[in-house]
A and B are shown apart, each in its own frame.
Chain A
């Protein structure tokens, strides 16, 4: 890991050597949520694409400052909820109202229960379970969908082994810009982050 006080004065590690780790990107530290937000706005305006902010808690309005478009998670969850509701109805009507067979991994046959003279297809009695399955599938989709869209779990990440970055889950605020960004130039990007008021700019190796 290479640390430098002023990025312009830093000599890049010998990039000709194959043993030297690749640069993953730069991480800049900011004093508080307000500075992070201003810096995020400037980074977005500068046209970077592969970059991120890191904070111990969600900062209100930072998604707007960064230009994050709204996630489609709610749409996916709605679909899952509708599927759960339908599944609940099909499950109950098949198992309790009809006597035909279907193949669901094994051959299963419905059983028309006649309960206290109610109609075989007694929809109102099926509502509670339909409701529960709607909620169950929606909630599981919400949780796993969020993790999937966030590409978690990702137990290894270059930032996680960067010393000092651990405080991002405590009380510090960072902006990271990845080297794969087309605009990324180590000295120029470092200088840019410094100019936004970063108290330190460090190189993260992959």
Chain B
């Protein structure tokens, strides 16, 4: 151990790019690599927003996203000026791409809240590397989700009927409808996510303010940093508030997709009227959301040089969550079939056999392949720690989860009780443009976020470094504050308390 402690700072700094995925009992794997220095962490994150130029890939992605956003604008305007008939909807299939996209995007959002709230309550320190951009992803995903219920009502200028606003008709929303619960659930979710994200951002905006060179940056970051000055009295209330927000966001995130699933489960339609829906939807949401976090994190850490903050261990952990939630989703798929058989209800049985072997068999099997079969590869550590493999598998999950919602919504509606009313849904160009356009909106917002806001929670990352602990071994114990050598070691410390992560495998550097 002492050999590894021979660096300049008197303690071993976990090497940049080292493998921190190895589990070694008694030792904490480092979550920040390449430095034991707070200033270096600040530099690494702020470099992205402060650099005068961005990588070419950013411009390419931004251009593509802008074009898709333009397509969204065209499609939505065409819809509003013409009517919902421009979509491929027909009499039994009255929901299709619109609600599929809505559920897909709301689901994407769930991973951000899980990372920021639930992993915080469970004291999972690795969340600090990824929580900021996962939360940003949540907000942008909920914005994308919010478009679809807004435009699918047809006469969007009456969308205010969704809210209990006194009006000339003396009518109120009908609060026994799950659709209205959804309005409250999703708008609360958006508001709370935004507040949580912004509260987390305040100390980092202050960091950017204090480093800013230009007047505009100083003004903008300074305004939103609200005059934060790192006061311990502020930090005290801040930490209590953060804990409270995490505790409030945890039941909220579990409720949101439960309420979304009520849109289906409370109805009488075979294939929708299922008690397993709330937990099944929540597991699916977290599954798809984590896949999206991996999809975004892999290019972002490459592009902006954040590999020492979003380490392989973070990606490995996320892939484990994908594996677990993928298995839950697979269990739910099979349990639905079991219950359909066990219920003895012929319509229910037909709905599920039809789902797997009827006119939408291809969508069903895309869903099963992408959500249940391919994520099983994450049992292998080689796959979990391979950048190309995890990127491709996470894309598969995104595709699979989109198809899950499509299968649930469209196959159940298309073949309901009476064969005479059966029909098939065929999307129009407007459907497709709106779906792709939502990705454009998401991309634009996310890329702007990457460019202008700290992608990683700087203050939080620093607080999980061993150096942040005032009782850390490197600072010595019980010393008088005066004349203390900050690099001094107190001899005879057990290896387990060293900050450095020792690779237990022989022959490793």
Chain A interface (Cβ < 8 Å from any Cβ of B): 30-40, 42, 52-63, 66, 68, 70-71, 73-74, 77, 91-92, 95-96, 104, 106, 108-111, 113, 115, 118, 122, 125-126, 128-129, 131-133, 135-136, 138-140, 142-143, 145-147, 149-150, 152-157, 159-160, 165-171, 195-197
Which residues of B lie under 8 Å from residue A73 when comparing CB positions? 237, 240-241, 244
Closest chain A residue to B235, Cβ basis? A58
Which residues of A lie under 8 Å from residue B248 when comparing CB positions? 135, 138-139, 142
Q: A57-B235, A115-B176, A133-B184 provided; 11 other pairs, C-beta below 8 A?
A: A91-B164, A95-B175, A96-B176, A128-B178, A135-B192, A135-B248, A142-B195, A146-B238, A153-B227, A156-B227, A171-B39
> Chain B: interface secondary structure?
helix
Report yes or no: A58 in contact with B463, Cβ–Cβ below 8 A: yes
How many angstroms between the C-alpha atoms of A39 and B470 in the bound complex?
12
Between-chain CB contacts (< 8 Å), 28 pairs: A33-B469, A34-B470, A35-B486, A36-B470, A39-B481, A55-B230, A56-B203, A68-B236, A70-B236, A70-B240, A95-B172, A96-B174, A108-B166, A111-B172, A115-B177, A126-B175, A128-B259, A129-B175, A132-B188, A133-B188, A135-B192, A135-B252, A136-B192, A155-B227, A166-B210, A170-B207, A171-B39, A196-B481
B205-255 residues at the A interface, CB under 8 angstroms: 206-207, 209-211, 222-223, 226-241, 244-245, 248-249, 251-252, 255
Which residues of B lie under 8 Å from residue A111 when comparing CB positions? 170-172
Which residues of B lie under 8 Å from residue A66 when comparing CB positions? 232-233
Closest chain A residue to B249, Cβ basis? A139
Question: Nearest-CB distance from B39 to chain A (Å)?
Answer: 4
Report yes or no: B463 in contact with A95, Cβ–Cβ below 8 A: no
Given A63-B232, A152-B226, residue A146 in contact with residue B475 (CB < 8 A): no
Chain B interface (Cβ < 8 Å from any Cβ of A): 37-39, 42, 164, 166, 170-178, 180-181, 184-185, 188, 191-192, 195-196, 198-199, 203, 206-207, 209-211, 222-223, 226-241, 244-245, 248-249, 251-252, 255, 259, 262, 458-460, 462-463, 467-472, 475-476, 480-484, 486
| Residue of A113, A118, A143, A145 ringed by the most chain B CB atoms within 10 A | A143
Closest chain A residue to B482, Cβ basis? A197
Report yes or no: B238 in contact with A58, Cβ–Cβ below 8 A: yes
Question: Nearest-CB distance from A80 to chain B (Å)?
Answer: 10
Which residues of A lie under 8 Å from residue B175 when comparing CB positions? 92, 95-96, 125-126, 129
Which residues of A lie under 8 Å from residue B467 when comparing CB positions? 32-33
Which residues of A lie under 8 Å from residue B166 when comparing CB positions? 104, 106, 108
Question: Nearest-CB distance from A113 to chain B (Å)?
Answer: 5
Question: Nearest-CB distance from A41 to chain B (Å)?
Answer: 9
Given A139-B192, A166-B210, residue A146 in contact with residue B199 (CB < 8 A): yes
Which residues of A lie under 8 Å from residue B37 when comparing CB positions? 171
Question: Nearest-CB distance from A127 to chain B (Å)?
Answer: 9
How many A-B residue pairs have C-beta atoms within 8 angstroms? Tell me: 243
How many angstroms between the C-alpha atoms of A26 and B478 in the bound complex?
27
Which residues of B lie under 8 Å from residue A32 when comparing CB positions? 467, 470, 475, 486
Instruction: Name the one of B171, B207, B470 contacting A169, with C-beta atoms under 8 angstroms.
Output: B207
Report yes or no: B468 in contact with A71, Cβ–Cβ below 8 A: no
How many angstroms between the C-alpha atoms of A19 and B239 in the bound complex?
41
Question: Nearest-CB distance from A181 to chain B (Å)?
Answer: 14
How many angstroms between the C-alpha atoms of A69 and B458 in the bound complex?
27
Instruction: Name the one of A58, A157, A169 contacting B210, with C-beta atoms under 8 angstroms.
Output: A169
How many angstroms between the C-alpha atoms of A68 and B245 in the bound complex?
21
Given A57-B463, A129-B180, A129-B184, residue A74 in contact with residue B229 (CB < 8 A): no
How many angstroms between the C-alpha atoms of A122 and B191 in the bound complex?
28
Report yes or no: B238 in contact with A150, Cβ–Cβ below 8 A: yes
Which residues of B lie under 8 Å from residue A31 when comparing CB positions? 484, 486
Report yes or no: A34 in contact with B468, Cβ–Cβ below 8 A: no
Report yes or no: B230 in contact with A56, Cβ–Cβ below 8 A: yes
Which residues of A lie under 8 Å from residue B236 when comparing CB positions? 58, 63, 68, 70-71
Report yes or no: B241 in contact with A143, Cβ–Cβ below 8 A: yes
Which residues of A lie under 8 Å from residue B471 when comparing CB positions? 34, 61
Closest chain A residue to B258, Cβ basis? A128
Report yes or no: A77 in contact with B244, Cβ–Cβ below 8 A: yes
Report yes or no: A146 in contact with B164, Cβ–Cβ below 8 A: no
Report yes or no: B255 in contact with A171, Cβ–Cβ below 8 A: no
Report yes or no: A142 in contact with B245, Cβ–Cβ below 8 A: yes
Report yes or no: A42 in contact with B481, Cβ–Cβ below 8 A: yes
How many angstroms between the C-alpha atoms of A15 and B414 in the bound complex?
86
How many angstroms between the C-alpha atoms of A37 and B26 in the bound complex?
27
Given A74-B240, A139-B249, A140-B195, residue A169 in contact with residue B181 (CB < 8 A): no
How many angstroms between the C-alpha atoms of A104 and B373 in the bound complex?
56
Instruction: Name the one of A56, A70, A118, A165 contacting B38, with C-beta atoms under 8 angstroms.
Output: A56
How many angstroms between the C-alpha atoms of A63 and B237 in the bound complex?
10
Report yes or no: A168 in contact with B470, Cβ–Cβ below 8 A: no
How many angstroms between the C-alpha atoms of A68 and B234 in the bound complex?
10
Closest chain A residue to B210, Cβ basis? A166
Which residues of B lie under 8 Å from residue A92 when comparing CB positions? 175
Which residues of A lie under 8 Å from residue B475 when comparing CB positions? 32-35
Which residues of B lie under 8 Å from residue A53 when comparing CB positions? 231-232
Question: Nearest-CB distance from B166 to chain A (Å)?
Answer: 5
Report yes or no: B469 in contact with A54, Cβ–Cβ below 8 A: no
| Residue of A92, A113, A128, A149 ringed by the most chain B CB atoms within 10 A | A128
Which residues of A lie under 8 Å from residue B468 when comparing CB positions? 33, 57, 59-60
Closest chain A residue to B223, Cβ basis? A155
Which residues of A lie under 8 Å from residue B483 when comparing CB positions? 197
